Structure formats: C-alpha cells, structure tokens
A = this chain, B = another copy of it.
C-alpha cells in the first residue's frame, strides 16, 4: 500500500534509534547505534542515512510515507531548521536538507520532546487525550504540550521545554545556565548529586552499599532500583524528585488546565514513586477544579521517540496528499 510505512528516527545524545513503522504504530524493523559524537554534523547525517537505507532494504519506495527525525535540539519547525543544540554539534546545520538530498523520501524534523509526546498521543497512554503535557525525565528534562489534539509549538517551534520552568529562584544551577529549574532537580545529574550527598551521611550510607560499596559507581539507576525495592535513603531522594516535579506541574496545570500529564523518559518510566509523589502534590496544591488531572506513566518507553517521529512523517505525508 502507498505510504503504508514511515521511518522514525530518534537521535539522542547517547544513541540513535531508527524504525520502520506501520500506520498503527507497530515498529516492524528497528536499528540502534551509538551516536557518533566526535564525527561532527556529517557523521550524524551519515549515520541517519545509513540506518534508513538499512531498514528500508527491500521495501518499495512508494510504500514509504517519509522520514521523521526527532532531534535533541531547538527546532524552528516552520523553517525546518536546527537553531540550537547543547548536546550535539547540530546548531545551524541543515539536517533535513542534508538527509533529504541523499534519500528519495521527504524528511521532517522536530524536537525530540515533541516526537515523544506525539508517540504517546498516537499510540500510547495519551491516545485520544486532546490536552496533555508530556514530561520526559532523563539526562535532561524535556517534553511537549498538546492542546486540542495538536503539538503546541509556540511562535518559533521552541515550545514545550517543561524542564526549564523555575521552581525555586534560589535553587541549584541548571545546565542551561538558569537556576532552580525543574531540570536541576529531576534529571540524572541531579539525582547523582543528591545521592552522593546522601551517601556521605550515616542515614544515606545504604546508597553506597547499593552501588557495590563504591561511591563513584552511584548512578541514577542504582538510586531508582534502591527506591523501587524500598531502601529508605533512595526513597527519600526519588520522592524528592517527585515532589519537585509536582511543584512544576502545579504551575503547568494552573496555566494549561490539561486533562492529563504523561511522565516518561528513562527515570519517569522506571520509578513509579516519582509520578505518585508528583500526583499527590498536584492534588493538594493545584487550583480548585483541576486537581483531578490524571498523572500517567508513559507506555512506549524508548519506542515513543521512533513511533512519534514516524507519526510526524505520516502526518506530513497525508497533509501533502490532502488526506486530512
């Protein structure tokens, strides 16, 4: 069938994943590689092109609706240009043009928080939910805002950076240069910071034991595993992550009045305590009438990015063909 598949690419700071995706979101072929960080922008473009060729081998070109690419970058969606990227050397690089010139498919790029939100919206826990906010907790905190069933991109396409809402004017520094942003409490580096601090105390010494006795081996995953199995110090750290997420969500819920919040990303999806505690804060502190907002855990895991990027390609294809 014409346009039966789309290719979704999820470019991360660590890994690039590519998938051949059916219209209902099923990923029928997938490929993953480590991000070639040191090879410059062309290295990343080469990698994307190579992955697309690999997973489309034997598929007729007419069956491919297009290629969607989610980038860890600020993307001007209307101009389809990469404006800024802190983790990869892509700022100012015409990723779309470079990829498209070497493939026979149309290409659409977007911010990776947007594609993840699109994935959960079309195929995951937010299916059918028109107004929701996705928050992804991982190396950084990203996300996407859905309003009326569409991604809210803002004037230049930079909308949805829910990790950079100020929740404490005197809080710790944020990698973006700000202070007291959600990201400075709820991303991997913040968890490691808090865990090392706790590990230096008597009450928190269990954290070091969980890391095999080596304080330098403390990772966010060690703390999350500890919290999930009831270690008190780890529960306190991850509970605090949930509380701070909740404080940010109070503001978001009061401003946007969404039906649901979807908590995803590696941290959000592996530690139920985080969304539980965040939900409790929202229920206690949001303005009357919106305390019943659902706080849901994302369902698609790492596939959200690939499936969402493919959904973007399908949407673009169908609007070009006048299908909606």
| Chain A residues near B (Cβ < 8 Å) | 74, 83-84, 130-131, 145, 147, 152-162, 164-170, 176-179, 181, 244, 247-248, 250-252, 254-259, 285-290
Contact = CB atoms under 8 A, between A and B. Distances in A.
Nearest to A182: B251
Contacts of A155: 130-131, 257-259
Q: How many copies does the complex hold?
A: 2
Which of A158, A248, A251 is the most central at the interface, judged by chain B CB atoms within 10 Å of its CB? A251
B169 A166 contact: no
14 contacts: A74-B287, A83-B289, A130-B155, A147-B154, A154-B257, A155-B258, A156-B290, A161-B287, A162-B254, A164-B251, A164-B255, A165-B255, A167-B168, A181-B251
Interface of A is mostly: loop
Nearest to A83: B289
A162 B74 contact: no
A255 B169 contact: no
Contact of A159 (B158, B170, B255): B255
A99 to B, nearest CB: 22
A256 B256 CA distance: 10
Given A156-B257, A257-B158, A287 B164 contact: yes
A89 to B, nearest CB: 15
